[in-house]
Amino acid sequence: MIIQVIAAFFATLFFSIIFNISKNQLLYCGINGAIGWLVYLLTINIDSIIFSTFLGALTISIIAHILSKIRKTPVTVYLIAGIIPLVPGAILYKAIYNIVIQDYDMSTYYGIQAIELACAIAVAVFLVASVTKSPRMKK
């Protein structure tokens, strides 16, 4: 598990470099991605992959909003970079691969799973964004 968290840190860090994020923010982006992946790994055995992805994305979104307030930087700097480890790329690959080999049952299974994971990420990000933008929070 430690190796996976370290790998998530570096994956997020290197994607942040590709996204041309300021050098001052790179470490925070990497830590955000690593923490989100850690939450995902800790909850994967408790419930489904969808719920674990939701909790990981929720954690990343909360941390991104906190960091943006503290460091006076846009939320997207930390949010987009931090979400990278949770993006269902391998599952999308399996869906397309099964289309190519004409196994439509498996491609449908993986395609639906990828959509569910993407929706879990989107709902988590939206939930935190809507709570932080509420009138009560602005003081």
% pLDDT > 90, the chain: 90
Radius of gyration of the chain (CA): 16
How far is it, in rounded angstroms, from Cα 110 to Cα 56? 20
Query: Could you read off the pLDDT of 24-35 as tens digits, one per residue?
Result: 999 999 999 999
pTM of the model: 0.89
Q: What integer pLDDT is reported at residue 134 of this predicted model?
A: 56
